[in-house]
Amino acid sequence: MSKIDQNTIKHISDLANIPVSTQETKKLVDDFLKTLKVIDELRQVSVEDVEPTHQVTQLTNVMREDEVAKEKMLTQEEALANTESSHKGYFVVPRILEK
Amino acid sequence: MNKYTPIIGLETHVELKTNSKMFCGCVNDPFNAEKPNIYTCPVCLGLPGALPVPNKKAIEWTIKLGLSLDCKINHFSKFDRKNYFYPDLAKGYQISQYDIPFCFNGQIQTQQGEIKIRRIHLEEDTGKLLHEIVNNEPVSLIDFNRSGVPLVEIVTEPDIKNGDQAQEYGKKLRTLMKYLNIADCKMAQGGMRLEANISLAPKGSTKLPNYKVEIKNINSFRFLKQAIDYEIIRQSKILDQGKIPAQETRGWDTTKQQTFSQRTKEEAEDYRYFPDPDIPPIVFTQKEVAAINDSLPELPDEITSRWQKEYGINTKYSHQLVVDDKTVSWTEKILSLSKKEDIKPTAIIGDIINKKINVTKKDDPEKVINIFKEHHQTVTINIDELDPIVDQVIENNQDAVEKFYNGKTQVLGFLIGQIMSRLGKKADSNQVRQALLTALKKSQ
Amino acid sequence: MSNLNNLTIAKALELIDKKEIQVSDIYQDLLNSIKEKNKELNIYLNTLPDPLKEVKKKTNLKLKGLPIAVKDNFCVPEMPTTASSKILKDFKSPYESTVTKNIKKAGGVIVGKTNLDAWAHGSSTETSDFGRTRNPRNTNHLPGGSSGGSAAAVAADLTLAAIGSETAGSVRQPAAWCGTVGFKPTYGRVSRYGVIAMASSTDSPGPITKTVEDSVILYQAIAGHDPNDATSSKKEVKNLIKELDQTIKNLKIGVLYLDVEELESIKDIYQEQLKVFEKLGAKVEFTQALDPRYAVGVYTVVQRSEVSSNLARFDGIRYGSDRSHFGDEAKRRIMLGTFTLSKGYADQYYNLAQKVRTLFINDFEKLFEKYDILVAPTSPGFAKKIGSSEGTAMFGELEDMLLEPSSIAGLPGISVPCYRDEKTNLYLGLNIMAPMFREDLMVRAADAFEKNTPWNSWRNNS
């Protein structure tokens, strides 16, 4: 079973962009361990020569023609309607340092 | 510096000029949008419940590009999610390709040798960030007009040796994509973005260096060459000291003419790639790939070498004409008309390139031929006018005449030139030459 | 007549046709009922302010303006869509989901948005950020989830029919716990466009209704190809109405999971009820399948992995509140899903889970070579008491263990009431599964079971 500790949770919290308190971290270690116990049962199954299934539809080549669909586009008002942070048509966030 | 071999690879992102975006039917024209956030929809704005549907044309164009660069095509391919957080990434993941890109193992020739193409894949572009002060607060403004635009990513093997070769590669790639009519590659508009990975290995070493410096945010070929050449020197100085250059991302400061550190890469990011469950895989048959291959036009390199063989046009001139299919067919017409009219192809092409005649690509090829003929139209000079001037030139250039008598026939050219300039008219050079030779024989 | 909200869709349409009642009469009783009961049961998060205005426009369409309740993870422009999460408390979608669009096209009116486990993470509707929903059959018990609000709305007659969504059990399990019919179509049969994504590779919108017939009526309205959803099937939608009232003589039925130890004390009940099929001429045989316990592992990994990615868009920038407002269950799942996809672990978890998923698909294929349909208990037991889900990390997964195999394989399934406990008034459900796109077989069997047993409270006034 994988080693799970508070450092794991902190690392995952960064990756997942979810803030967690120290208290939450402790509980999450516990939750992880409980869940991984169930998941680890999967190792009892033999998957030799088995391909993974990522989609059950067996569909392929579902594409669209290169056409503009005006009726599906949003106006600027609609695009901004659900935020309180907008400025001259832009979404606004506190200054980001270059990535 | 000769102690080291530069190991340079280039990653290029190019916006495809499809009508609509990669996974939705929004207008694909972010640079010309009059306002921010007017070309969005639930899909590219990342609204809850929205789903992506891939743009067929973008995929076909990617295959076309791959075949033009001699790549193998993966007959089974898929889109994967690249998960990371950034305000300009609406869904919190970018739909891209991870382990099975559409194209792989291609190559492109340059004057300094072959550059192998490792892979070409298709993905979606992010929104755009602008940094401003609003109400005295430093903020970042986000515009999603560009979110979801189809982006093709071309990655080379680290075969590039120096700034010149990198520049040539970049220009050839741009020419090819413009010629295939799949991208405008306007670097100043962000239509083509280059990133270089540079490290140095001790000369003769077979091991790859244990560090890599990434150069990003370069928006011209000239800066690319300068940045690479600068980096090679900077890194060799560090290596000379027995140290290892820091693994980091650097930008190019054109005022200071140096690269500068932007961000240290401590560990590679964990993008947690997995196949996008919303998009069924893409499958090609051998036949379909062959059909796309057959539909390819004659490629720029092929045209250039054919023009060299058939018409003697040198590559420096060809490169300026093989820029898009319109210009190529215009030039082809001129070349074949030249042959018919008994005009030297190299002459007319030379005049066009060197702007010796006043023509534009909008002019009909026939018109161009006529303008060329007019420009070179010569007048037959009356011998009463010609002979005195010939005698005068012979008299004033006794040294040259001596040389001629001593067998240095090339001096004729100079003497003819003297006669022509005194005439002040467009004389038929053959007529002048005959008159000169006759006069010289007489005087001998 | 009073309490016209007790009608089924089919019966309501019949009476309207005969001009014995008007649609507005139904709404009068319905809206009164909602006023009376919604506070205690906490079924609706939002209701349409003036439904009769919409009804007027629909009287010439098939569903004549009848009220349909929709789970609050379907985007509609006329009311907020919250996914029962504080993050989307005030979110008004500028676009419409394909399912609700189709319901409106068929003449249905969306009378309200129903409560769910926040983000559809759960099997109790107790983890909603807006309070738990109670089971109308016995308000000390849970309605199941995640479509608990929709199932409770049907059970309480606070709607004529409802729409839910199932990722692994979220339509069939609450339907069973509330004594209603829950129809989960084949994956890809009904468009996911506009449904707030949970596990993209298994999410299936589906009807929760009073009868099998009603579920078929709604199914016909919402099934079909959608160019907005690249995983939606282009296969022709069969007319399932003609599967009602049909014989099931010689239908080969395989019975699964009766030997699962979690089945508590209900094994005997199921064995008794299955005799109905034999009486109707079907061939019933108990058989073995791949241990559903492994499906729990597969589903847990796949769901959490996909969810960790699907919920990444909720960053508070373009809409909603920031990520600190995620509830505990959502946080738990996102974190675990991030972990199972992360470097060094993806192979052991995500890739392994997808391989075991293949084993389930293959297992079902083999079973369907022998049997036309497969049946099993929907749930390991009756609806659990209020508070049962609290603090338990894997509550949902274990409750849905018997449904997860067919969900991860994309199969269709329908749960029908198959027993009622007189003391508690709680129900058990029978899950009838068919091969992909063979909804016709399962509807035939479900309809026959419903009409030949006393368990449907609308057919039998119980």
The CATH number covering residue C44 comes to: 3.90.1300.10
Decide if C94 contacts C46 (C-beta within 8 A): no
Q: What is the pTM of this model?
A: 0.91
Mutation target for C interface from A35, A43, A54, A95: give the one with most C CBs within 10 A. Answer: A35
pLDDT given for residue C460 in this prediction: 76
* Interchain contact, B280 vs A62, CB within 8 Å: yes
Q: Which of C71, C104, C113, C184 is catalytic?
A: C71
User: For residue C459, is it within any domain?
Assistant: no
Interval B356-369: pLDDT, tens: 888 898 999 999 99
pLDDT given for residue B154 in this prediction: 98
* Mean pLDDT (chain B, rounded): 92
* Mean pLDDT (chain C, rounded): 95
Q: Domain containing C264: what range? A: 4-451
Q: In this predicted model, which residue has the larger pLDDT, B204 or A43?
A: A43
pLDDT given for residue B267 in this prediction: 65
Q: Domain spanning B383-443: which CATH class is it, in words?
A: mainly alpha
pLDDT given for residue B97 in this prediction: 98
Decide if C442 contacts C413 (C-beta within 8 A): yes
* Interchain contact, C312 vs B52, CB within 8 Å: no
**Residue C240: count of CB within 10 angstroms of its CB:** 22
**Residue A4: count of CB within 10 angstroms of its CB:** 18
pLDDT given for residue B207 in this prediction: 81
Angstrom distances, CA of residue C152 to CA of B180, C69, C333:
60, 10, 25
Would you list the domain boundaries of chain B?
4-283, 297-375, 383-443
pLDDT given for residue C15 in this prediction: 96
Question: Is the pLDDT score of C210 beyond 50?
Answer: yes
Clarify whether C146 is annotated catalytic: yes
Instruction: Tell me B126's DSSP state.
Output: -
pLDDT given for residue B383 in this prediction: 83
Q: Which residues of A touch C332 (CB under 8 A)?
A: 28, 31
- Report percent pLDDT > 90 for chain C: 93
DSSP assignment of B222-288 equals: HHHHHHHHHHHHHHHHHHHTT-----EEEEEETTTTEEEEEEE--S------EE-TTS--EE--HHH
Q: Is A51 on the interface with C (CB under 8 A)?
A: yes
pLDDT given for residue B266 in this prediction: 60
Distance, in Å, from the CA atom of A62 to the CA atom of B278, rounded to the nearest integer, reads: 10
Q: Which two structure tokens, joined as six digits, stand for C91?
A: 């979110």
Interval C65-120: pLDDT, tens: 999 999 999 999 999 999 999 999 999 999 999 999 999 999 999 999 999 999 99
Report the gap between the CA of B336 and the closest CA in chain A (Å): 37
Beta-strand runs (E) in C385-426 = 413-420
Residue C106 identity: A
pLDDT given for residue B19 in this prediction: 98
Report the gap between the CA of B97 and the closest CA in chain A (Å): 15
From the list A60, A63, A94, the residue facing B139 with the nearest CB is A94
Interval C122-156: pLDDT, tens: 999 999 999 999 999 999 999 999 999 999 999 99
Q: How confident is the model at residue C462 (pLDDT cuts 50, 70, 90)?
A: very low
Residue C269 buriedness (CB in 10 A; 0-12 / 13-18 / 19+): middle
Report the gap between the CA of C406 and the closest CA in chain A (Å): 11
Q: Is A56 on the interface with C (CB under 8 A)?
A: yes
Interval B103-135: pLDDT, tens: 999 999 998 999 999 999 999 999 999 999 998
User: For residue C253, is it within any domain?
Assistant: yes
Question: Is the pLDDT score of B379 beyond 80?
Answer: no
Decide if C103 contacts C91 (C-beta within 8 A): no
Q: Which two structure tokens, joined as six digits, stand for B241?
A: 């000291």
**What mean pLDDT is predicted for residues B252-269?**
82
Q: Is A68 on the interface with C (CB under 8 A)?
A: no
* Interchain contact, B36 vs A94, CB within 8 Å: no
Question: Is the pLDDT score of C326 beyond 80?
Answer: yes
User: For residue C457, is it within any domain?
Assistant: no
Clarify whether C170 is annotated catalytic: yes
Q: In this predicted model, which residue has the larger pLDDT, C259 or B380?
A: C259
**What mean pLDDT is predicted for residues B279-299?**
95
**Which residue intervals of C187-251 are DSSP H helices?**
212-222
Phi, psi of A75 (to 5 degrees): -75, 170
Residue C8 identity: T
Q: Which two structure tokens, joined as six digits, stand for B154?
A: 């071309």
Q: Which parts of chain A have pLDDT scores under 50?
A: none
pLDDT given for residue A98 in this prediction: 59
Q: Which two structure tokens, joined as six digits, stand for C48?
A: 């349409």
How far from chain centre, in Å, is Cα B217? 18
Q: How many residues does chain B have?
A: 444
**What mean pLDDT is predicted for residues C254-279?**
92
Q: Which of C33, C124, C146, C457 is catalytic?
A: C146
Distance, in Å, from the CA atom of B353 to the CA atom of B318, rounded to the nearest integer, reads: 9
Q: Picking from B4-13, B415-424, C360-369, which range would have the lowest pLDDT averaged per residue?
A: B415-424
Residue B136 buriedness (CB in 10 A; 0-12 / 13-18 / 19+): exposed
Q: How many domains does chain C contain in total?
A: 1
User: For residue C109, is it within any domain?
Assistant: yes
Sort residue C290 into left (φ over 0), alpha (ψ -120 to 50) or beta. beta
pLDDT given for residue C239 in this prediction: 97
